[in-house]
C-alpha cells in the first residue's frame, strides 16, 4: 500500500513570503508526489520597483505567485484586494482564510512566526492560528464542510527573527533545491531588490541549516508551544 500523500498549504502575509521561507520544503514534497498550495493575504505590492506603477506591480505579484505554485504542480491564492501593509486583524480575515483551508483541505499548514519587524507578518500569524481553529469546527457554518489541518509550522524568516529558535529541520536534496531556485527566481524582488539580497540569503541559509542537520539542504520551523514535548519510555 502506498504512503498517503500530503497536502501542504503555506500562508504568507505577502506574495513571496511562503515561497522563500518554505519553498525548498514545498519543492521537495512536490517531487515526492505531494500537493502544495500557497496563500498570500496581500500581494506585497509596496515593494514596487522604482518607476513602476504600484497597481501594475500588484498584478505582476499575483502572476508571480501563480507561476511559482504551478512550477511545483500546485495552486496559488492571493487576497489582492487587501493593500500591502494594511492587513486587518479581524474576524472577516479569519473566515476568509478559514474558507481557503476548507477548500484546500491541507494536512499541513505553514505560516509566519509570531514576532516580526513587519506588522502584516504578525497579523498573519494570529489570523492563521484562529482560522485553522475555525476551519476545524462544523459549528462554524460556512459554504464548505469543516476540515482540520493536523500539523501547523512556523517558518524561519529573516524579518521574523525575534525569539525564533529552530526546532524542526526538514531536509531535501539538490534536485529540490534547484527547482526552488528556478521557481523563486520568477519573483522580481527575490533577484532584483536593492534593499536585501533575498536569493543569496535564503540559498545560504538553506545550506547552513542543512549542515546543522548533517544533510545537504534544510529549512527549519517552529511549532505551537503546546506541542513542544518529547515522549519517551526511557532515556
Domain ranges of the chain: 7-227
Count other C-beta atoms under 10 Å from residue 220's C-beta. 23
- In terms of DSSP bridges, do strands 217-222 and 151-155 run parallel, antiparallel, or are they unpaired? antiparallel
**Residue of higher predicted confidence among 77 and 4:** 77
Which of 45, 10, 43, 14 is closest to 24 using CA atoms? 10
Which residues are CB-neighbours of 8 under 8 A, at least 6 positions away?
25, 26, 29, 34, 35, 36, 37, 106, 107, 108, 109, 110
Q: Which residue has the cell 460556512?
A: 142
Backbone φ, ψ for residue 154 (5° rounding): -115, 125
**Distance from chain centroid for Cα 54:** 23
Question: What residues does 108 pair with on adjacent strands?
Answer: 8, 151
Write down the pTM of the prediction: 0.96
Residue 176 CA to residue 178 CA, distance in Å, equals 5
Determine the Cα–Cα distance for residues 77 and 72; give it in Å rounded to an integer: 14
Q: What angle do CA 124, 129, 190 make, to 5 degrees?
A: 35
pLDDT band at residue 231, thresholds of 50, 70 and 90? confident
The per-residue pLDDT of the chain, averaged, comes to 96
Question: In this predicted structure, what is the pLDDT of residue 2?
Answer: 44
Report the topology of domain 7-227.
Rossmann fold (3.40.50)
Q: What's the pLDDT score for residue 26?
A: 98
Amino acid at each position: 500500500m502506498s504512503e498517503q500523500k500530503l497536502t501542504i498549504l503555506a500562508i504568507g502575509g505577502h506574495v513571496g513570503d511562503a515561497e522563500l521561507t518554505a519553498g525548498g520544503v514545498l519543492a521537495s514534497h512536490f517531487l515526492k508526489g505531494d500537493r502544495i498550495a500557497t496563500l498570500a493575504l496581500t500581494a506585497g505590492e509596496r515593494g514596487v520597483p522604482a518607476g513602476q506603477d504600484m497597481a501594475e506591480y500588484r498584478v505582476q505579484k499575483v502572476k508571480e505567485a501563480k507561476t511559482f505554485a504551478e512550477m511545483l504542480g500546485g495552486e496559488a491564492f492571493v487576497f489582492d484586494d487587501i493593500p500591502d501593509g494594511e492587513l486587518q486583524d479581524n474576524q472577516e480575515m479569519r473566515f476568509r482564510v478559514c474558507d481557503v483551508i476548507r477548500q484546500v483541505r491541507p494536512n499541513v499548514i505553514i505560516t509566519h512566526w509570531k514576532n516580526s519587524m513587519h506588522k502584516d507578518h504578525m497579523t498573519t500569524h494570529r489570523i492563521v492560528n484562529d482560522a485553522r481553529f475555525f476551519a476545524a469546527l462544523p459549528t462554524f457554518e460556512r459554504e464548505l464542510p469543516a476540515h482540520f489541518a493536523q500539523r501547523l509550522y512556523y517558518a524561519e524568516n529573516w524579518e521574523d527573527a525575534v525569539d525564533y529558535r529552530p526546532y524542526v529541520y526538514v531536509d531535501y536534496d539538490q534536485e529540490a533545491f534547484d527547482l526552488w531556485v528556478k521557481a523563486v527566481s520568477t519573483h522580481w524582488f527575490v533577484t532584483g531588490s536593492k534593499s536585501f539580497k533575498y536569493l543569496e540569503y535564503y540559498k545560504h541559509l538553506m545550506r547552513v541549516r542543512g549542515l546543522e542537520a548533517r544533510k545537504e539542504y534544510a529549512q527549519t520551523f517552529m511549532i505551537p508551544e503546546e506541542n513542544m514535548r518529547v515522549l519517551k519510555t526511557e532515556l
